[in-house]
């Protein structure tokens, strides 16, 4: 019978027995089976059924990438993507952005839908966060990834069209991308649409949409949303923070909903919990004043002007197990 344990960080049940049994089987056939070598790399790098061993994980991926055997062709793109992540993170190898970029470009294979779509999307994010930024390249790679079905890149394209980054500003194209991404579950795209509805004074629509998103954390686990959608947890948190903020502001001012300062305060506090910005402590029973509301608004405007942190690329959970399409 498989042994199960509860992972305290996300509450999910992990079948340790299955991982351990699989690890033993992969080790037995790795010399003759390239797929087994690939899975061994993933399991060692991510510590699945075995203590984390990034060096061994990297070694397995290099074996796949350097193998002349034609049977490894379908694994090479995924192995290159994983190696690129290892170089970017400096785990198992010396950190090198240049080597990470080279490997991701190989894995992306000029937008080939049968290559690593995850690498295509990652390049879009990489070029928009490196210094100096290369936004035209970022737009190109997000376009390729989006065309191949990547949800993160579809939302990113919406933002780039919205603000004219790497492409001429086009609000119609931006809304098209954002709405499609939002319908498919991109929480950051949903948050951006909430902000758009608020600024356009579509308050009833803003309230309805923002309330649902702001309460995601009551029924959904952020890591699970990230796993299902393929979107980064950082952006999921930002989308939820946007929704919380604008829902709180509507409650505070009575826009599209009955004015409720106590509930507004609750949702303002949820903004703080999802960002690096902390609201000041207030005495019990303190009613939100105009000055405090303005403080919250200025704080949020400051947050919106902040670039996405470069370390956002480090927030995924290790090597990807799917050989094709990621």
User: In this predicted structure, what is the pLDDT of residue 318?
Assistant: 63
pLDDT at residue 221 tops 90? no
Mean pLDDT of 236-265: 96
User: In this predicted structure, what is the pLDDT of residue 122?
Assistant: 97
CB atoms within 10 A of CB 292: 18
- 322 CA to centre of own chain: 17
Dist CA 141 CA 61 (whole Å):
24
pLDDT at residue 309 tops 50? no
pLDDT at residue 85 tops 80? yes
The first and second tokens of residue 214, run together, are 């702001």
User: In this predicted structure, what is the pLDDT of residue 151?
Assistant: 97
Mean pLDDT of the chain: 84
pLDDT at residue 72 tops 70? yes
Binning pLDDT at 50, 70 and 90, where does residue 256 land? very high
The first and second tokens of residue 292, run together, are 């405090």
Mean pLDDT of 87-110: 97
Using the CB atoms, write b or e for 222-248: b if 16+ within 10 Å. bbebbeebbbbbbbbbbbbbbbbbbbb
The first and second tokens of residue 44, run together, are 């060692």
User: In this predicted structure, what is the pLDDT of residue 226?
Assistant: 93
- Residues whose CB is less than 8 angstroms from the CB of residue 235 and which lie 6 or more positions away in sequence, other chains included: 152, 155, 187, 188, 308, 312
More confident residue, 220 or 90: 90
The first and second tokens of residue 247, run together, are 């829902």
pLDDT at residue 168 tops 50? yes
> ω into residue 319 within 30 of 0, thus cis?
no
Tokens 């694994």, located at residue: 75
| H runs (alpha helix) in the chain | 16-29, 34-46, 54-66, 73-89, 97-108, 117-129, 135-147, 151-163, 171-183, 187-199, 203-214, 216-219, 222-229, 233-253, 261-273, 290-305
User: In this predicted structure, what is the pLDDT of residue 211?
Assistant: 97
């Amino acid at each position: 019978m498989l042994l199960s344990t509860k992972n305290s960080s996300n509450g999910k049940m992990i079948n340790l027995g299955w991982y351990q049994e699989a690890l033993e089987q992969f080790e037995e056939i790795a010399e003759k089976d390239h797929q087994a070598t690939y899975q061994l790399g993933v399991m060692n790098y991510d510590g699945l059924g075995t203590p984390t061993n990034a060096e061994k994980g990297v070694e397995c991926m290099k074996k796949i990438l350097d193998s002349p055997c034609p049977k490894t062709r379908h694994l090479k793109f995924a192995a290159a993507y994983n190696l690129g992540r290892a170089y970017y993170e400096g785990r198992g190898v010396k950190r090198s952005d240049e080597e990470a970029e080279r490997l991701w470009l190989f894995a992306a294979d000029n937008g080939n839908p049968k290559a690593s779509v995850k690498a295509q999307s990652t390049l879009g994010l990489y070029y928009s966060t490196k210094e100096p930024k290369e936004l035209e390249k970022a737009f190109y790679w997000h376009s390729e990834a989006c065309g191949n079905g990547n949800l993160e890149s579809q939302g990113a394209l919406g933002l780039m069209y919205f603000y004219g980054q790497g492409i001429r500003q086009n609000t119609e194209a931006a809304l098209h991308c954002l709405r499609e991404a939002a319908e498919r579950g991109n929480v950051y795209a949903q948050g951006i649409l909430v902000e758009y509805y608020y600024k356009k004074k579509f308050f009833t629509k803003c309230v309805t949409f923002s309330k649902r998103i702001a309460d995601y954390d009551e029924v959904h686990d952020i890591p699970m949303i990230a796993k299902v959608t393929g979107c980064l947890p950082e952006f999921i948190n930002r989308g939820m923070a946007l929704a919380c903020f604008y829902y709180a502001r509507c409650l505070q001012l009575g826009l599209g909903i009955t004015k409720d300062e106590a509930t507004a305060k609750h949702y303002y506090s949820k903004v703080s919990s999802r960002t690096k910005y902390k609201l000041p402590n207030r005495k019990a029973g303190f009613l939100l004043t105009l000055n405090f509301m303005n403080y919250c608004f200025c704080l949020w405007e400051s947050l919106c002007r902040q670039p996405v942190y470069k370390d956002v690329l480090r927030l995924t959970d290790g090597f990807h197990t799917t050989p094709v399409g990621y």
